[in-house]
Copies of this chain bind each other. A is one copy, B any other.
């Protein structure tokens, strides 16, 4: 059976959930990964309002779509972040932002992620994708000199804040999948391993594997798949490109996405440098059977053109492995 291909609704939150589903179906997707923002999936209503969860399924069923995961990137980001400032205000609903006191925001965000676990269980999906934030991302440049204890404290802060959340995930039988990403507690190969260690590799916590963030950092996504095979709970098909011409730098120069002077950018899947063919084969090898979820971001292209193109690439790469070694046929003489 082929792998299902889903569309992540996060970049389409300006549209109603019904409209996104209509588009996804028209493009040919098998399902959607639903963002917990906009009107796509509202956690409070899911827990408190009769019929809300069913209303989401009604829309999905109307369009013949399935769903395997919901996503809480924006709220998750606020659990560990330090500082908390106007950037966070702009991505949070007002009841979580409240008066904006940093620690209050973090605690309300933590509670919201717990609720999201319960809502996912009620909705009937097994995975919540998202970010975690980080207390130590801000010292990534390691200058002025950073004491080792400061780094250790960052991982401990993560464990202290997320273990109680993960208890709820265990309780309701759902998993949290961190998208390894700059500005999170884990953002590359080695930090991914370190963060698992911080929570004693408890199974409730794993990764939403997104190769686009690794590629521009020059980390090999294929090696990541084999190393963390048992913690890949979900994946994103998202693409990036490196355009290092001697002027653009790898740090982005404080230029916005889509500005040609940048040293790297996000582009529509299939138009950058991520080795998706080797990635799909590696996911087959390690036995990942979940969906491939297209997260579409490209400032130089129209999303209505890009989303079906990305889907077509996934279909082509979604290989069923040969059941036998190819040279077995040589031995077929009687």
Q: Which residues of A contact B (CB under 8 A)?
A: 10-14, 37-38, 73-74, 77, 81, 83, 86-88, 90-93, 136-148, 150-151, 154, 181-183, 187-191, 194, 214, 217-220, 222-223, 226, 243-258, 260-261, 263, 266, 271, 277-278, 281-282, 284-285, 296-303, 305, 319-334
Known contacts A260-B226, A260-B285; A144 and B87 CB within 8 A of each other: yes
- A319 x B333 contact (CB < 8 A): no
- A141 x B182 contact (CB < 8 A): yes
Pairs across A and B, CB under 8 Å, 23 listed:
A38-B333, A74-B333, A83-B138, A87-B144, A87-B150, A90-B147, A90-B330, A91-B144, A91-B145, A91-B330, A142-B257, A144-B183, A145-B328, A154-B254, A189-B253, A218-B244, A218-B248, A219-B246, A220-B245, A271-B277, A281-B300, A299-B322, A299-B325
- A145 x B90 contact (CB < 8 A): yes
- A223 x B245 contact (CB < 8 A): yes
- Report the nearest B residue to A300, measured CB to CB: B281
Cβ-neighbour of A74 out of B144, B181, B188, B284 (below 8 A)? B144
- Report the nearest B residue to A254, measured CB to CB: B151
The complex places the Cα of A180 from the Cα of B82 at a distance, in Å, of: 25
- Report the nearest B residue to A143, measured CB to CB: B183
The complex places the Cα of A11 from the Cα of B88 at a distance, in Å, of: 39
Taking the full assembly, how many copies of this chain does it contain?
A: 6
Interface centre among A13, A138, A143, A248 (most CB of B within 10 A): A143
Residues of chain B contacted by A249 (CB below 8 angstroms): 187-190, 214, 217-219
- B141 x A257 contact (CB < 8 A): no
- B325 x A302 contact (CB < 8 A): no
- A325 x B256 contact (CB < 8 A): yes
Residues of chain B contacted by A182 (CB below 8 angstroms): 141, 143, 251
Cβ-neighbour of A93 out of B253, B301, B329, B333 (below 8 A)? B333
Residues of chain B contacted by A223 (CB below 8 angstroms): 245-247
Residues of chain B contacted by A183 (CB below 8 angstroms): 141, 143-144
Cβ-neighbour of A246 out of B141, B151, B220, B299 (below 8 A)? B220
The complex places the Cα of A195 from the Cα of B25 at a distance, in Å, of: 48
The complex places the Cα of A73 from the Cα of B319 at a distance, in Å, of: 29
Interface centre among A137, A256, A329 (most CB of B within 10 A): A329
The complex places the Cα of A251 from the Cα of B73 at a distance, in Å, of: 22
The complex places the Cα of A247 from the Cα of B146 at a distance, in Å, of: 22
Question: In the complex, what's the smallest C-beta–C-beta distance from A145 to chain B, in angstroms?
Answer: 5
The complex places the Cα of A89 from the Cα of B233 at a distance, in Å, of: 42
Cβ-neighbour of A245 out of B14, B93, B217, B246 (below 8 A)? B246
Question: In the complex, what's the smallest C-beta–C-beta distance from A5 to chain B, in angstroms?
Answer: 16
The complex places the Cα of A324 from the Cα of B219 at a distance, in Å, of: 29
